[in-house]
Amino acid sequence: MEVRIQIDPGCEGVSVTITAGALTDEVKALARRLEEAYLDSWVGEVLPVLFEEEKEGLWQGHAPNYARVAAASGEDLHNRVVMTRITGVEGDLLIGELIS
């Protein structure tokens, strides 16, 4: 699919061609940058996290902002809300430490 945009009908030969694939890639890259900036903005904050399951040694759950959060704990955190300080970001996951 190709999108053709003519800048000014009075200017012969002046047009821009954008392929759908290139536009899609740019939109995906922009979405990823916005997600990274959003997640980075939570580093240093303390959030209540509802922990749901343990994966690869980390308890994972969700904060009120709907972000996924992971933290290490030797306790069973299933279905518990624990105050968690956000210390970093790994991919689309906030990393935190439990506040006692």
- pTM comes to 0.74
Q: Report pLDDT digits (tens) over 33-59.
A: 999 999 999 999 999 999 999 999 999
Cα–Cα dist 28/90, whole Å? 18
Query: Of 25, 20, 23, 29, which Cα lies nearest the Cα of 2?
Result: 20
Instruction: State mean pLDDT over 85-97.
Output: 97
Cα–Cα dist 29/87, whole Å? 25
Tokens (6 digits) for 8? 């000014």
What single-letter amino acid sits at 42? W
Q: Report pLDDT digits (tens) over 63-88.
A: 999 999 999 999 999 999 999 999 99
